[in-house]
Amino acid sequence: MSSKEEPVSHSRRRLIRNGMQVTLAISLIGIAGRTVLKSASDDLVWQLDPFKCVQCGRCAKECVMSPSAVKCVHAYALCGYCDLCGGYLKPDPNARTTAAENQLCPTAAIKRKYIEDPYFEYVIDEKLCIGCGKCVAGCTSFGNGSLHLQVRHDLCRNCNECAIARVCPSEAFSRVPSHKPYLIKGDFKKG
Amino acid sequence: MNRKLINGLLILIAIAIVVIISTDFIGNKAGQNKSNPYEYNIEAFKQVDSAKVLYNEVTTFPVLADQLSGIAVSDSSVVVAAGNKLLQFNFIGEEIFRKPIIDTATCITMDGKKNVWIGMRHFVAAYDLNGTLIKRWKSFDERSVITSLAVSGDQIFVADAGNRVVYKCNRDGLIIARIGEKNEQKGVPGYVIPSPYFDLAIDNSGFLWVVNPGRQSLENYNADGSLRTSWGVAGMKIEGFSGCCNPAQMTIMDDNSFVTSEKGMPRIKLYGQHGELKGIVAPPDLFDAGSYYAPDVAVDASNKIYALDFARKQVRIFKMK
Ligand code: SF4
Ligand code: SF4
Ligand code: SF4
């Protein structure tokens, strides 16, 4: 007889989350700054709405960049820091460990770090991430949906016609203002 | 002649280009079902041995309301909390009334006197069976997220996911005890609540059972708040509770069997009083593709199981075969 409400916070984890949020914010602001400079003449850049994305795999395959300019990002404020993380572990893993056979990510781009019993932190290594969305699907199904995909504007070439947008089955791509180039979960509300 | 040949060739080349481009476009078109090499695939876990399915779905009826939050059943009616409304139905699904309630409901239960207790985010309110407000407790605190209620005589148990605690209260909302906070001396591990799914129920002997969703287990408490026993195994296989925050919903039958309901891959199962899997009430394929929320569950006096399906906005009733 439970409800569907906002996640629960915890002082120590909140501290960590805040730290991570700041880090994420700084990196995104930095990237956003570069993007604005890069495309001073362009007012709009491509971005995807994580609430529309159905993790079809095309972000990994269709981008003109290789690896894709789409990466997984983590909304730490939404994360449950679960031991049994649906985004990190394969369905029904042999054990909840960092062994390759237990990891869901095809490129081992997610790093799992013990915080305190029973909490773990998950960090994306963007150099390894190919934007396949597999972890996003796992986290959305069995976690809080804190992992999600975003076009990273330090990598995106802002093609005239985004090759992914053309084939995205959920019409998740749109042009957004270059001064607000990210649609980060937790920063904006669904609908 | 030469000119004609060249024109013909050019037309052929133009047609070929158009065919190639449109085939490519149609093949890649948005909405086309291309295979996904990175698919998150749990189909194997949705297949169940039909011999293990112990129940048939016998009736369904629609709940024409938004923000469904919970269901409870008495010997005379079914009540559903939805947003700022309390809805009452008879057993064939005819709506008897819908009445406004003072805030948005998060959970609902009924006591032996057929009063309806409704959890709001920070507080609890009680209504009689005609939907008239009879009690409104004061708020617990700002961090509170009330997710479940159970009544045992004059005691009301309240699950607060925000503060990770169960309150034992009297009928006026006075807190008599706080249960389940981490306490090594009492052997209490503390609740792990990654998202606000935090259910509880009272068994036939009056003992409190609380879901510890981050540990995929059910915990049983003595009256003094010490841990009596617990059970539960994590896993996608049918014996286990899949992913974090499961079982997201549960209720207890007359014989102290547990009915559990999971989110992510919705499925409803029946466990014996010691946590052994007895069988399946509703397998995953009974729920719509893409369904995510765990149906809330309640049991009537004849042991029929009522599932509130949030995706279909239906009450679905299951009877043992
Ligand atoms: S193409 Fe669209 S639906 Fe597919 S992964 Fe990318 S954003 Fe999501
Ligand atoms: S599973 Fe895919 S999207 Fe997620 S981190 Fe790994 S490569 Fe990136
Ligand atoms: S605009 Fe171009 S580079 Fe950017 S995500 Fe789309 S295809 Fe990739």
pLDDT in tens, B260-273: 999 999 999 999 99
Q: Mean of the pLDDT values across residues A48-60?
A: 97
The CA distances from residue A52 to A174, B274, B311, in Å, are 11, 42, 17
Task: Choose the most confident range, by mean pLDDT, from A24-38, A134-148, B8-22.
Answer: A134-148
Cβ burial, residue B311 (10 Å; 0-12/13-18/19+): middle
Rg over alpha carbons for chain A, rounded to the nearest Å, is: 17
Is there a contact between A91 and B147 if contact means CB atoms under 8 Å apart? Answer: no
DSSP assignment of A99-140 equals -GGGB--TT--EEEEEEETTEEEEEE-TTT-----HHHHHHH
Confidence at residue A29, expressed as pLDDT on a 0 to 100 scale: 53
Average pLDDT score, chain A: 84
Report chain B residues whose CB lies below 8 A from the CB of A173: none
Confidence at residue B25, expressed as pLDDT on a 0 to 100 scale: 52
Is there a contact between B243 and A133 if contact means CB atoms under 8 Å apart? Answer: no
- Asked if the interface predicted TM-score (ipTM) of this complex is over 0.90, the answer is no
Separation CA A97–CA B25 (nearest Å): 43
Residue whose structure tokens are 């309806």 = B116
Q: How confident is the model at residue A5 (pLDDT cuts 50, 70, 90)?
A: very low
Is A45's C-beta closer than 6 angstroms to any atom of ligand 3? no
The DSSP symbol for B197 reads: -
- Cα A39 to middle of ligand 3, angstroms: 14
Report chain B residues whose CB lies below 8 A from the CB of A92: 45, 235-237, 240
- Bigger pLDDT: A10 vs B1: B1
Is A183's C-beta closer than 6 angstroms to any atom of ligand 1? no
Confidence at residue B101, expressed as pLDDT on a 0 to 100 scale: 98
Domain boundaries, chain A: 1-42, 44-177
Q: Name the stretches of chain B with pLDDT < 50.
A: none
Confidence at residue A6, expressed as pLDDT on a 0 to 100 scale: 39
Q: Which two tokens stand for residue B72?
A: 């409870």
Nearest CA to ligand 3 atom 8: A63
- CATH class, domain B48-320, is mainly beta
Confidence at residue B104, expressed as pLDDT on a 0 to 100 scale: 98
Q: Which residue of A has its CA nearest to B293?
A: A4
Report chain A residues whose CB lies below 8 A from the CB of B149: 1
- Cα B305 to middle of ligand 2, angstroms: 40
Does residue A9 register a pLDDT over 70? no
**Where would I find the H helices in B171-268?**
none
Residue B297: strand pairing partners: B307
Is there a contact between A2 and B107 if contact means CB atoms under 8 Å apart? Answer: yes
Q: Which two tokens stand for residue A25?
A: 């914010």
Is there a contact between B244 and A7 if contact means CB atoms under 8 Å apart? Answer: no
Report chain B residues whose CB lies below 8 A from the CB of A62: 28
The DSSP symbol for B159 reads: E
Domain boundaries, chain B: 48-320
Confidence at residue B108, expressed as pLDDT on a 0 to 100 scale: 98
Confidence at residue A62, expressed as pLDDT on a 0 to 100 scale: 98
Separation CA A54–CA B209 (nearest Å): 37
pTM tops 0.95: no
Q: Mean of the pLDDT values across residues A42-68?
A: 95
Confidence at residue B120, expressed as pLDDT on a 0 to 100 scale: 97
Using one digit for the tens of pLDDT, what is the confidence trace for A69-128? 999 999 999 999 999 999 999 998 988 899 999 999 999 999 999 999 889 999 999 999
Does residue A51 register a pLDDT over 80? yes
Q: Which of A48, A65, A68, A166 to mutate to test the pocket of ligand 3 (most atoms within 8 A of CB)?
A: A65
